[in-house]
Amino acid sequence: MRSKVAKLIVFALGLSLIFAVFSFAAEEKTFNFKGHELEEFTIENFDQAPKLKELVQAGELPPLTERLPKDPYVVEPIEEIGDYGGVARVATTRADWWGEDNMMMSINTFLRYKPETGKYIPHLAKEVTVSEDRSRWTIHLRKGIKWSDGKLFTADDLMFWYNDVLLNEDLTPVVGKAWKTEGEVMEMEKLDEYSVRIKFAGPQPYFINRLAHSSHQMLTPKHYLKQFHPNYANEEELKEKVEENNFDHWYQLFGHKNSNTYALPFNPELPTLASYRLTKKSSNRHVYERNPYFWMVDSAGNQLPYIEKIETDILSDVEVLNGKIMSGEVDFAAYFADIRNYPMFKKFEEKGGYKTLLWQSGMGSEVVYMVNQTHQDPVLRKIFQDTKFRRALSYAIDRQEISDSIYFGKAQPRQYTVLESSQYFKPEFAKSYTEYDPEKAKQLLDEMGLEDTDGDGWRERPDGEKLTFTIEFVSIEVPRAPNVELVTQHWSEIGIDVNAKQISGELQGQRAPANLMDATIWHGDQATDVLFPIYVNFLVPTNPSWGKTIWPEWARWLNTNGDSGEEPPAEIKELHGWWEKLLKEPDEQKRSELAQKILGMQAENLWAIGTVGNAPVPAIADKDLRNVPKDVIYCWSTYWSCSHNPEQMFFEGGVNEE
């Protein structure tokens, strides 16, 4: 296995090249994001797992030459060519949502974003071209990729998603902005078996971001799902299936059968393009087995993934999960590994038989604070809308204490903005009003007339009532509760009484968009160039969001063209206008100017008040697990570990010895 390198190495290195330059084709006026090909590459170079060879020999599986695409995606291993075999043990607390098991398999999109460079490379697509005005995008798929049941993945699957999912009002009542320009839904046409062209009513310069991040939504296996769709299924047979599965409508059954997160199925019957397919599912356990049709190989031609199975325990408590980490009962963990447990993780490394890595969070701020500027209480609303108040809150936060207390001094005091790697970053954006200066904070509050008039240590509102408000929050993804505990203490020291109330995600989802919260917090993601500026909820009122309370009613008004919500002030309309113009501006220099205007407004107005960023994230791996990346920018922007091809991880010797 390890010797088959010669002919493939050029191919692998070529595919790892980044699209640093767009090549111009004058006759078509297109820019190409094109991967490198090696013409002399021959199928004889490929190899596969021994267990798959046995299935081929038994006639239960087609030969590898019939299972791989013509030009597979090639992964250059981080450390070395791997060994086949082993079972990875992981644990998660969420049965039907993203968890530690998914951290070991890629999220598939047409392009892949490389956070180290900010560039894109081909993934499911062999090539993507775009017209000079950025309104027409053409996707050329890798020829011969197959679903996990052996059926070809073709342009017909994409057309099924477009015609029968996106344009079906039962399945998609409201088409999102991702697929629209100037209020018009994009058009998609099939060019050939492996190519489609997408046309927008106007320029869509950031559609490349979506192809690298949200295009997994387009991955719908037509051959399987059409049996649950009225455009294809027999009416009586479909009605029987709906009743048999205890649903009232066909679209409920369709959604159930298409149950997935990021195109990773929760329905064992649903074909997938992922490296593993879900084969067993219960309330407390998931089992994934290697996808024999997976379309990636290593640089020696060995089909990935190396590891045979992933077995996932579904737990009820994160603390139990962290206990399993320290006792060596899981082979990989990062999503639920808490930085506060880092000393304990290190302490039990030898006994647990694992290693502890520190990855870098890709958050613009680990926790951001948001007060509700469209609050139903007119007095609080006026206070929250005053820039002096938000600056006072920022000055009062001791960010170094947060870094020292929660992140062992390894997080950077930072205002919420894009990361340093962003093409739009300016140092002053990250430093804005981050100086710890409680006296300056008190001065600003005094200037607002928010004084302690009765001498009880707490400031009063202009109407004489005590100045107090509540932060409601969900404790997920990053250490939120200890952050809130410190910050509310900091604010109490300048005379503001702030209550903290931890709530469920369901309640957060109801109260925040309904304008019922005083304030909330969230993790400050959307800070890399693959998400900014297509997601700007911390910076611009785009739509009422379950995780944001900056301006729900202004967002509602802007999102409905004034049909509901509250009309925002002129500067907010202008801010929103900059964003809308940015999304359709074909000129790169003008886009940069607009983006920096938006970021500059955040730096001055502090719509979202940041705390610390560039924080460490612990990742736990079995001592014998290889090809585990050491340097990872870890966040939703990069799909956590997925940008580093987790399919390449393997157990030394192909065995996981407990």
Which residue's structure tokens are 């610390």?
A: 612
Q: What is the mean pLDDT of residues 33-38?
A: 40
How would you write 430-443 as a 3-class SS string? HHCCCCCCHHHHHH
**Could you report the per-residue pLDDT of 335-389, keeping only the tens digit for each?**
889 999 999 999 999 999 999 999 999 999 999 999 999 999 999 999 999 999 9
In the predicted model, is pLDDT for residue 500 greater than 90? yes
Does the domain at 365-613 match CATH 3.10.105.10? Answer given as yes
Specify the 3-state DSSP secondary structure of 475. Answer: coil
* Residues whose CB falls within 8 Å of the CB of residue 474, separated by 6 or more in sequence, listed in order: 480, 502, 503, 504, 505, 508
Cα separation, 564 vs 575, in Å, equals 19
* Residues whose CB falls within 8 Å of the CB of residue 177, separated by 6 or more in sequence, listed in order: 542
Going by C-alpha positions, the residue among 529, 634, 567 that lies closest to residue 208 is 529
Phi, psi of 120 (to 5 degrees): -120, 150
Q: Which residues belong to CATH 3.10.105.10 in the chain?
A: 365-613
Looking at every residue in the chain, the average pLDDT score rounds to: 91
Q: What is the mean pLDDT of residues 563-585?
A: 97
Cα separation, 513 vs 448, in Å, equals 28
Which residue's structure tokens are 């404790």?
A: 475
Please state which CATH class domain 1-220+258-333 belongs to.
alpha beta
* Residues whose CB falls within 8 Å of the CB of residue 433, separated by 6 or more in sequence, listed in order: 391, 394, 395, 415, 606
In the predicted model, is pLDDT for residue 37 greater than 70? no
Cis geometry, peptide bond prior to residue 533 (ω within 30 degrees of 0): yes
Structure tokens that stand for 170 in this block: 């039962």
Q: Which residues belong to CATH 3.40.190.10 in the chain?
A: 1-220+258-333
Question: Residue 158 carries which DSSP code?
Answer: H
Question: Residue 22 carries which DSSP code?
Answer: P
DSSP per-residue letters across 239-307: HHHHHHTT-SSHHHHHHHHT-EETTEESSTTS---SSEEEEEE-SSEEEEEE-TT--EEETTSBBSP-S
Question: Residue 498 carries which DSSP code?
Answer: E
In the predicted model, is pLDDT for residue 233 greater than 60? yes
Phi, psi of 16 (to 5 degrees): -85, -5
In the predicted model, is pLDDT for residue 464 greater than 80? yes
Q: What is the mean pLDDT of residues 96-120?
A: 86
Cis geometry, peptide bond prior to residue 63 (ω within 30 degrees of 0): no
The DSSP element (H or E) to which 497 belongs, if any, is: strand 497-502
